[in-house]
Structure 1
């Protein structure tokens, strides 16, 4: 099990300190993130924008435990990611982070209801309770009439609604959304964005969204921009940087 050492510095939902990340390409070393430092209070929404290749997805992957920083510290809630083993990171990803990607990654042979309740069931929740919670979450995203439909029977917008519900099923500490509306038309993008922000607020979740869509970014309490691996930011709605 993960050692939940409490992070004492006002206990933010997320604290990143001097994070660096580079990749080697042939004889060249590409520095993607340079001394990235920021913290996020619990229940606050954050948007990260920037040009393609600026390191937005890399940063999100590090916070989500899908990749490791070369240097610096990454603390999500009470978890020190840079100190966790691979086994502990697996547990962290499964129970403490809700992921939403540009592609929905729903299991094609499972219904919408099954796609949402399975992560909870696999985490040890009883099947009855997992199904009931999945029904409630799917209702929250307007999919109560599509519970028994398979991904191939759903539109792109509907699949992303299911992905939003799935991200919430294990009551994660943070929700990480990487271009969640990138494959959708304007109308469906608006619907999915509404549902994402609404449910993050309803369940008091800390939300980090990587997006190219300024209309989505401006809905976040805090907006950052990655520029050549350096994080720049400013504040909305009185949130504290």
Structure 2
């Protein structure tokens, strides 16, 4: 059994802050040169298409193409891909976020292809690595605890579906206004009972530290969130012991009459 969605929800609060952003400039755009496999780069197809596109490229912009690749490792200027392929980048690979180096693979890598210099021609100039949940789910994660949480929720989706309950989750891009100030949950859960049609929206907060400052900050965040939605809390170390399912079901009173 799932309780009904409260009248005030996180999504409604976020929608009040959502605005449309207009991009100035010419409305005409050249097709995006985006490749999701390394072969066109290795065979020189990317370079040939860029040279062709450069003849019509706006003079104020340098011709560029992009590679979006799944990577099993990154080191210095080398991106290691599945199947033993490698992409060498001219500059050191950048991590998106300060904690990326400690998370480890797998990664989703965006490489920028452009003219290195007139003599050498086109090459992979820069690359940005974003850790993802796991090879089968290209969901961006920002720390090890978030990866464990996302993977746990993905597995929980399958188990709850067999019980007639759907669970979705997302990471908000904007803070949520409350009477105590703005706040943003670690993840937002959406649950639905397929039998009754009842829905529930809840925030999920992962506690990653034990010092007084970290615990106090997390407690204040939870108190703010409880003004607008139910909150599930779990300690990061408990994620390793498969306690996420119990935390979600027990704290949201799912399955109880």
Pair in the same fold by TM > 0.5:
no
Mark the structure with the bigger radius of gyration: 2
Normalised by the length of structure 2, the TM-score is 0.26
Normalised by the length of structure 1, the TM-score is 0.27
Higher RCO structure, 1 or 2 (CA under 8 Å, sep 6+): 1
Which has the larger share of helix? Answer: 1
